[in-house]
Each structure stands twice: as C-alpha cells, then as structure tokens.
Chains A and B, each alone.
Chain A
C-alpha cells in the first residue's frame, strides 16, 4: 500500500457514492438499533428500489442525539429525521429531492451548536464495517504518513505538542506516556486499548467502537510504530456485543487492506491486534488489573511502580490508552499537534466526548471543545431539565467523580477545574439530576457500585466501602446520628488515603462532594428524619419508653 493506492481506494469509494443521487444514513448504534433501526433501513432500501430513485441506504454508527432516535440523516440535503418508524420509509423516500417530512423533524434545537467533531468526525457518514468508507474520509492517511515520512520520535513529538491527555479519566499526558514506553528497552512491547468502560451512565467508548472502529485501530497502529510494539490488544467489555462485532469485522477488513499484519504498507513495520473480552468487572478498567485479566489471571490491581510502561503485559513494556485517546491520534497526525493544541484550555487541549444522561431534555453523545462551560453543555446542547423541574446537580466522572451544584454551572470544563471543584473528568459520563433526586441516595448508589465492584484485595476498599454503604443506608432511613456522619467522614478519609488502586482511592468522592455541596440534605435526614427530595423513606426509630 502506498499513497497512490490509498487515494485509489478513496477514489473508488467516492465513485461508488457518485452513482447515487441521495444517501440515506440510518443510525444503527445500540440505542437506535434497540428500536429496530435495522428494519427501518431495510424498509427504506426496499422503498427506494421500488420507486426507482438512485438512493444509497447506509448503516452508520451513533449520530449523537439518542433521545430522538431512531435517527436518519439524508444527504446531500443534510436533513435529519428523528423518532423514525418503519412506516415512515415511504414518506422519507418520496421526500428525497423535495421538502423534508415535517412530522419527522427531530426538534434538536441547539443540540449541535458549539459541538466540534474530532473523534466523532465520521459519525453518521460512514458504515462502520467498511474500511474503504473510512479511507474515503481521510482514514489511514495518518498511518501512511507516519510510516513513510516520520521517525518514531517525530510522532511522539507531535503527540506531545498536541497536549493530548489521557481520555480515560486520569488525564496523564499522552505524549509523555508514549515517550516513556519508547525509551524503555525491550525486545517485545505491547499496545493495549482500554475499552472497559464501566461507569454508570457512560457510553462514549462504546459509541466510538461501534461507529468508527477503524479510527481506533489506526490510532493503535500509530502508537505501536512510535513505541516499537508489534502486538496490540483491545480490551473491551463483553457487555458491548455490537462494539465487539463491529471491531471484529473492522480488524478483518483492516488486515484485508493491509493496514494490519506483516510489512504494513510495504514497510518493515508489522503490527496486529487481538480482542480480549472483559467479563464484567469494573476494576479491570484499572491498568494493572486489566493486564492481569489479559494474562488470564484474576483481575486485581497490583501496586505500582513498576508501571506498565516498564513492566506490563507478561512483564514487557506496555502502553495502555483509552479508546478515545487512540481515536484522537489520527487527526493529530493528519493536521499536526499545533492544530490540536489550538483547541481547548491552557492545560486541557482538544475536545472531549461526553455522554449526556439523566434528567435532561436531549440525552445523547456530544463532543465539545475543552473549556466549554457545564451550563452550555447541559442547557445549550442538552436543552436543560425537562418537565419544568429545577436543576440540582450534575455528576461527572462516574463512581470516582462527584456531584456539582448549580453554582458550579459556569465552570469551564478541564481536567484541573473539575478536580478542584471536587469532581473529575473521568471518562466522560455526565448525569444530570433535578430536584427530585436525593443527594444522599445518589451517594449511596455510587457507594453500592464501588462496594460490589471492589475486587476484595485490599482491606480499606473491601471492608471500608461496605461500612460506608451501611452508614449511608442508615442516613437514608433516617436512623443515623451526627456520630455516624463523623464516622462516615473519617472512613472517607481513610479509604481514600490508604486503598491500593484508583477504585478505592476515589470511592469516597461521591460522598465527599455531596457532603461539600449538599450537607444540608444529610443533616435533614439526620436531625429532622426527613428527606428533602422526598425520595428516602425516613422512618425514625420509635423510641420505647420503659
């Protein structure tokens, strides 16, 4: 494969496209597919055939506004339809070239205003199982450029210059990580893509893998070239069957086109990727536990150092990055590190994909430049809280993050700003809560999650989460005293300070952040035996007088 051949594939794909007058893209991400968007696609295809319009009906990945699904995007007009049913096929096809079907208007308002697509640039435009469509949109240009024009050091320099930081939550500078692994001597090195997305309410990685898997593969191949690895693994949860299936097809397609395998693009570089399925343990998102899991052992973390960069998979130097991190790599190489660093804030560059869920008008997947305020995302893009209720808090960072109240809505999103506010970026879940949510119950929910997901290796996390959960339950039931609150605070401190891995260290965060901003709710449960939101059934213990 060389540049000419790549261009030829792109030209062929374009030629295929030019044969048609219209393109009807049907979203077949998990959300829309659960509403039978596959049948909608078939119905539209059948309809188009029978009426003789030159129309290409394509399956695509998640288009973003999941709440309006099943979504259909008609090109070249750029018309979007929402809540499409099988019966709408006829109207959609007959409207091609004419006025759009008014009743199918998804009413997205300002959903796309302020969004900026880097990771999701191909979403809605390509079939995730066709590598040629990815190539037609500039795919694998970056890999070819890296292999033929750049040295590994130059690749790392571009990544460092871009200011890209780990999108899995920690925010470790990606360039620095690559540089560390590149400098470690070792005959065998590995690249691992962490797709063990387990935060409640998060579906960014799943959507990326479902809608544009080639992008992740290309990112991994570039990383492998930069650090000198020949073997890669994608660790993805088995609970994401569609993502696994699309990735499996994508890997096969990439091999067929020679983007994976031996002597890639007629160079000396060889690299291949295998899939490993996670068996449903949240802790396996922690890098050392993930490595243990790939090795076939119990998925428990181990103390670091040694870091995986030095001693990772089977004791060899290993690079682990998140799905979204790898997905950012090809555009950085294509446009240069400076282009990427021109987006975002001083210390958080580029864009971030968020999964907007909870009590919000327009649930869905969004990608915004770093530095946008929470208010813009929740009220601008998301359309605010539905049913005339009042906004109460937004939870970011999953079980490791925290709940931010209204006074923090004007916070610009960046790794550091979120941490100083008592939450964290996390992988990008954003759960909006209105005034019907009880913050003690929310904290209890996340504590229950940490308790059941604790691997049981170190005692502060294993036993501490149980104790904290019990105390929170006691508070919810209106049976707690101020003494219990003190004990809860102390447990938060100890578990956070002494646990072995990130799961335990951050498990107290939902409690600490709700204690910081919603202490009055805790006190109402304790002193007045009353749940301000009316969620908990506070039943004060009946005092028995002898």
Chain B
C-alpha cells in the first residue's frame, strides 16, 4: 500500500489534521493535543467503549460515536465539544458519581483519581442526581492490595490488563446491570485467589480508589499505568 493511501485528512473541531488510516479519532486527536475526555480507555489496553465519555459528533452520523473505537475517515468532520456533548458528559459523570459511594474527601485516591479529575476538567460542580448509596463489600484479604467496590466504576481496566498483559485472567465481571461487580476468580477472596500473581498491574491501571496498595494513601497513591504502551511495544518487537 502506498504511503499516500494510508493517510486520512479530517477536521476535528475545525482544525484540519492528518492521521493514519488505522487510527481512531481519539488517537488522532491526542496526537494533535486535542482533548477528548476518557475513562475506560487506557493506552496499551483493548477498547471496550463502555464509559461513553469520549462520545463525539461526526457530521452525517445519526448518533454520537465513541472516539476510542471509531476509525478516522477521509473528510470526516468531528466535533469534540459543544454545549450538547458537554451536557451529556456531565450527566454521565453525575451518573458515575451517584451510582456508588464516590465521596472524594474520604477516598484514598483523593487527588489522584481520574474520575475526580474528569469532574474538575468538565466543570462538574455538584451532583444533582440522587446518590444511590449501595452497600458494597471491601475485600482486603490480599496481603498487599485492597478492592473497594464502593469506588469501582466498572471500567474493566483491571480485567483487561490481567487478561491481555499479565495473562493471569484473575479478574472478571459477575452479575449484570447495577449489580455488576469485578471479581477475582469465581468470586473467591482476592487473597485466596490461586491465579493472581500479585503483579499489581490492576492496581496501577485502576482509575479510581477501587484498587489500591495497602500501605499507601493520599499523594502516595499516584498510579503509574505508563508501563503499558512500553510493554506492548517491546512485546510486539519480540514477535
């Protein structure tokens, strides 16, 4: 394939940019420092398109499209921010906050939480939707890590990193709808999991305070998922 046919020209928020044909709108936008909010997306993991934060308007499309899985096309006209999209995103964010017990002031990840950052970036000043206050368990059976379901946003990053990078497949999802929970093995306590390698990758990729290391709180909780793209590239190089 010639180099030319591999390039797509599109506009994002009026700015004309070029992208490779195999890139998504999100990748193309980020390469050009154009911000699209995301939560379930993480560089180095597969896409699930579940958090709906990256929905953008594409001219001619009947619906809003998730930028993380939509491939660029020649002549595409993408709008990443307008009053309607911003309103939708804020409301989705409110749904996230109200769904479980996201109370920043008493959270280990306070100050290092992607959900919190999103709220700040999108200017969410308060949550109008009623909090559900579900009673959810905390599993601290693992010697080093804890899972607090009250702060889980079900982004499934832990599930994906465990399967795609570590290859342990310890994490999974059980239940459906609002009753969904991330679980270790067949809902055994994390500390008793026979498949868990205690690698801690899930903790590093978790966007909130749902997964954390036991001896850390506050500023020490800063998570470092940057190893993922590096690991991916190294592994692909080996093949």
A residues lining the B interface (CB < 8 Å): 281, 283, 298, 302-303, 451-460, 462-467, 470, 487, 490-491, 494, 497-500, 505
Q: Assess the A463–B99 pair: CB atoms within 8 A.
A: yes
Q: Assess the B178–A466 pair: CB atoms within 8 A.
A: yes
For chain B, residues 51 to 69, give those with C-beta under 8 angstroms from any C-beta of chain A: 51-52, 55, 63-64, 66, 69
Give the distance in Å from the alpha carbon of A470 to the alpha carbon of B49 in the complex. Answer: 26
Assess whether B12 is interfacial by the CB under 8 Å rule. no
**5 A-B pairs with the lowest CB-CB distances in the bound complex, closest first:** A456-B180, A303-B49, A454-B177, A463-B95, A463-B99
For residue A463, which residues in chain B have a CB less than 8 angstroms away from its CB? 95-96, 98-99, 178
Q: Assess the B177–A452 pair: CB atoms within 8 A.
A: yes
B129 to chain A, nearest CB (A): 6
Assess whether B228 is interfacial by the CB under 8 Å rule. no
Q: Assess the B176–A460 pair: CB atoms within 8 A.
A: no
Most buried by B among A302, A303, A470: A303
A297 to chain B, nearest CB (A): 10
Given A452, A456, A470, A494, which contacts B92 in the complex, CB threshold below 8 Å? Answer: A494
**Given A466-B132, A487-B128, A498-B55: A281 touches B63 (CB 8 Å cut-off):** no
Q: Assess the B51–A467 pair: CB atoms within 8 A.
A: no
Q: Assess the B95–A456 pair: CB atoms within 8 A.
A: no
Q: Assess the B92–A302 pair: CB atoms within 8 A.
A: no
Assess whether B50 is interfacial by the CB under 8 Å rule. yes
For residue A490, which residues in chain B have a CB less than 8 angstroms away from its CB? 91
Q: Assess the B96–A455 pair: CB atoms within 8 A.
A: no
Q: Assess the A462–B180 pair: CB atoms within 8 A.
A: yes
Considering only CB atoms and an 8 Å cut-off, how many residues of chain B contact the other chain? Answer: 32
Give the distance in Å from the alpha carbon of A479 to the alpha carbon of B48 in the complex. Answer: 39
Give a binary string over B189-230; 1 marks a CB under 8 Å from any A CB, 0 the rest.
000000000000000000000000000000000000000000
Q: Which residue of A lies closest to B55 (CB)?
A: A498
Assess whether B179 is interfacial by the CB under 8 Å rule. yes
Given B47, B52, B176, which contacts A281 in the complex, CB threshold below 8 Å? Answer: B176
Can you report 26 A-B residue pairs in the complex whose CB atoms are below 8 A from each other?
Answer: A283-B176, A302-B49, A303-B66, A451-B178, A453-B177, A454-B178, A455-B177, A456-B175, A456-B176, A457-B154, A458-B52, A459-B154, A463-B95, A463-B96, A463-B178, A467-B130, A487-B128, A487-B129, A494-B91, A497-B63, A497-B88, A498-B52, A498-B55, A500-B49, A500-B50, A500-B66
Give the distance in Å from the alpha carbon of A283 to the alpha carbon of B177 in the complex. Answer: 11
Q: Which residue of A lies closest to B129 (CB)?
A: A467
Q: Which residue of A lies closest to B134 (CB)?
A: A466
B residues lining the A interface (CB < 8 Å): 47-52, 55, 63-64, 66, 69, 87-88, 91-92, 95-96, 98-99, 128-130, 132, 153-154, 173, 175-180
User: Which secondary structure dominates where chain A touches chain B?
Assistant: helix
Q: Assess the B177–A462 pair: CB atoms within 8 A.
A: yes
Given B153, B175, B177, which contacts A451 in the complex, CB threshold below 8 Å? Answer: B177
For residue A467, which residues in chain B have a CB less than 8 angstroms away from its CB? 95, 98, 129-130
Give the distance in Å from the alpha carbon of A457 to the alpha carbon of B178 in the complex. Answer: 9
Give the distance in Å from the alpha carbon of A491 to the alpha carbon of B91 in the complex. Answer: 8
Q: Which residue of A lies closest to B100 (CB)?
A: A463
16 more CB-based (< 8 A) A-B contacts, given A459-B153, A462-B177: A302-B49, A303-B47, A303-B66, A451-B178, A454-B178, A455-B177, A458-B52, A460-B92, A463-B95, A463-B96, A463-B98, A463-B99, A463-B178, A466-B132, A494-B87, A494-B91
For residue B98, which residues in chain A have a CB less than 8 angstroms away from its CB? 463, 467
Give the distance in Å from the alpha carbon of A253 to the alpha carbon of B49 in the complex. Answer: 44
Give the distance in Å from the alpha carbon of A487 to the alpha carbon of B91 in the complex. Answer: 10
Given B69, B92, B132, B175, which contacts A459 in the complex, CB threshold below 8 Å? Answer: B92
B78 to chain A, nearest CB (A): 16
Q: Assess the A497–B129 pair: CB atoms within 8 A.
A: no
For residue A462, which residues in chain B have a CB less than 8 angstroms away from its CB? 99, 154, 177-178, 180
B7 to chain A, nearest CB (A): 21
Give the distance in Å from the alpha carbon of A522 to the alpha carbon of B171 in the complex. Answer: 44
Q: Assess the A464–B130 pair: CB atoms within 8 A.
A: no
Q: Assess the B95–A455 pair: CB atoms within 8 A.
A: no
B163 to chain A, nearest CB (A): 11
For residue B87, which residues in chain A have a CB less than 8 angstroms away from its CB? 494
Q: Assess the B69–A303 pair: CB atoms within 8 A.
A: yes
